[in-house]
Amino acid sequence: DASVCTPLPVLGRDVLVPLVTGGEVTYAALDYAASAPALQRVWDDVAAYAPYYGSVHRGAGYLSQLSTDLFENSRATVAEFLGCREGDQVVFTRSTTDSLNLLAAAVPAGCQVFVFETEHHASLLPWRDAEVTYLNAPRTPQQAIETLERALADRDPYGPALVCVTGASNVTGELWPVKELAAAAHAHGARIVLDAAQLAPHHPVDIAESDVDWVAFSGHKLYAPFGSGVLAGRSDWLTEAEPYLAGGGASRKVARRTDGGVDVEWHTTAARHEAGSPNVIGVYAIASACKALTEAGFDSLVEREQSLVTKVREGLAEVDEVKVLSLFGDDAPRVGVISFVVEGWNSSHFAAALSAEYGIGVRDGLFCAHPLVRTLLGSDPQDPGECGAPEAEPGERSLNAIRVSFGAGTPDEHVERFVRAVK
């Protein structure tokens, strides 16, 4: 409800930060890694367009033409935002999960897939029909490169292969050596897809510069609303694959055959995988967020975010009972995503207390990256365990963690309150 929202300055515009209804306390949304608040700019753009939306690619009328233009212009905006190469496609999906499942459905037959066990489940799990090699958790970025090189050296060099890697961890916030991993993949004839769900909101992503083959991200983590995502990159596998969804919009020509069947000629553009009436509002919102971030400039966004990261790190370091989770070491560069456990506390109770007593919204759990969090907590990464809030008695080792995450529009007061509350 916009009436219970108070605007805070961001990017020279405002971001909507919801107030605790009826309360005195401004709610501190420190769960950007799950979903970031929409930028006021995105809200405004969508509101200005909303009364006029119509069907995309399906109508002769003015509203339909306007919507088609906005939809296709949004595609161009996203391509520019990602630094796409000539010939790259931008396919609109529902989310990062949807994008990676689309790619998984499009990989050529016999494709070998290489994925670190530390990935978010959206990157770890979609490759069900491929031959998957799960790589052990590296403890340094260099080890990640070496682990991948070793695995690729053993592969069938003539078959298709794909590496899937995340740019910034949704658990530790740590940055992965994407460019080096891309070079290793290509040196062994493999392709690489970058899960940029956590990277894109915090860092510039440049497909051409990092030389990855595909990038996937979600609108709702990039300061736009839910329901839209992107898969961008090389067109060949996408164009050769069967459509992800079959239906109108993906098909160019459909005709009955004399034997009673149906012949279909599918589009060879991004439309091939976008069957059905598309989410034009969601797509327009993503494009609006891309523009807002570009106009604000990542240099200043990164600088501001890093000052908050330092504040949180230094604050947590003053509390003996707090252990920050990290794969690559405490000083490793990271975006505004920090997970930790507090000795003597059940993480779920701790997160609930932050919410109830301080109006701070964080997340507790295993963050859809169960093997990674178990590795970081020193429990068995192979333990099928429980998701959610496993009980740990005071004094026992935590079975889950607490995550604080922030980004554009996070006021200093929110992270200061968070550090005070933890203390």
97 binds ligand PMP (CB under 6 A): yes
Kindly tell me which of 205 and 419 has the beta carbon lying closer to ligand PMP. Answer: 205
- The sign one gets for the Cα dihedral 323, 325, 331, 335 is negative
Rounded Cα–Cα distance for residues 313 and 317 (Å): 6
Give me the residues paired with residue 161 across strands. 112
228 binds ligand PMP (CB under 6 A): no
Kindly tell me which of 176 and 340 has the beta carbon lying closer to ligand PMP. Answer: 176
96 binds ligand PMP (CB under 6 A): yes
User: Least separation, in Å, of the C-beta of 44 and ligand PMP?
Assistant: 23
HEC secondary structure over 192-229: EEEECCCCCCCCCCCHHHHCCCEEEEEHHHCCCCCCCE
Rounded to the nearest 10 degrees, what angle do helices 280-296 and 298-317 cross at? 80
Rounded Cα–Cα distance for residues 349 and 355 (Å): 10
Burial class (CB in 10 A: 0-12, 13-18, 19+), 115: buried
218 binds ligand PMP (CB under 6 A): yes
Annotation marks residue 368 as catalytic: yes
Neighbours of 262 (CB within 10 A): 9
**Scanning the structure block, which residue is given the tokens 């003539």?**
158
User: Least separation, in Å, of the C-beta of 123 and ligand PMP?
Assistant: 6
- The sign one gets for the Cα dihedral 410, 416, 420, 423 is positive
Stretch that binds ligand PMP, among 43-51, 194-202, 251-259, 287-295 (CB under 6 A): 194-202
Q: Given candidates 368, 372, 377, 404, which one binds ligand PMP under the rule CB under 6 A?
A: 368
Contact pattern from residue 127 through residue 166 relative to ligand PMP, giving x for each residue in contact according to CB under 6 A and a dash for the rest? ---------------------------------------x
User: Least separation, in Å, of the C-beta of 98 and ligand PMP?
Assistant: 6
User: Least separation, in Å, of the C-beta of 286 and ligand PMP?
Assistant: 12
Q: Given candidates 14, 45, 174, 195, which one binds ligand PMP under the rule CB under 6 A?
A: 195
Kindly tell me which of 123 and 375 has the beta carbon lying closer to ligand PMP. Answer: 123
Kindly tell me which of 354 and 366 has the beta carbon lying closer to ligand PMP. Answer: 366
Of 45, 333, 302, 339, which is closest to residue 167 (Cα–Cα)? 333
SS3 5: strand
Kindly tell me which of 88 and 119 has the beta carbon lying closer to ligand PMP. Answer: 119
Q: Given candidates 106, 148, 197, 222, which one binds ligand PMP under the rule CB under 6 A?
A: 197
**Scanning the structure block, which residue is given the tokens 């590296």?**
138
| Interaction residues for ligand PMP, span 101-120 (CB under 6 A) | 120
How do strand 251-256 and strand 131-135 relate by DSSP bridges?
unpaired
75 binds ligand PMP (CB under 6 A): no
Kindly tell me which of 308 and 368 has the beta carbon lying closer to ligand PMP. Answer: 368
| Interaction residues for ligand PMP, span 4-43 (CB under 6 A) | none
Provide the b/e sequence for 44-68 (b: ≥16 CB within 10 Å).
Answer: ebbeebeeebbbbbeeeeeebebbb
User: Least separation, in Å, of the C-beta of 99 and ligand PMP?
Assistant: 8
| Interaction residues for ligand PMP, span 164-183 (CB under 6 A) | 166, 170
Rounded Cα–Cα distance for residues 411 and 400 (Å): 27
Rounded Cα–Cα distance for residues 101 and 49 (Å): 30
Active-site annotation holder among 111, 164, 290, 368: 368
Q: Given candidates 42, 122, 200, 250, which one binds ligand PMP under the rule CB under 6 A?
A: 122
Give the count of residues interacting with ligand PMP (CB under 6 A). 14
User: Least separation, in Å, of the C-beta of 187 and ligand PMP?
Assistant: 25
Note whether 198 and 335 are within 8 A (CB): yes
User: Least separation, in Å, of the C-beta of 121 and ligand PMP?
Assistant: 8
SS3 68: helix
334 binds ligand PMP (CB under 6 A): no
222 binds ligand PMP (CB under 6 A): no
SS3 135: strand
User: Least separation, in Å, of the C-beta of 97 and ligand PMP?
Assistant: 3
388 CB contacts (<8 Å, ≥6 apart)? 365, 400
Q: For binding to ligand PMP (CB under 6 A), which residues are involved?
A: 95-97, 120, 122-123, 166, 170, 195, 197-198, 218, 220, 368
Catalytic residue IDs: 368
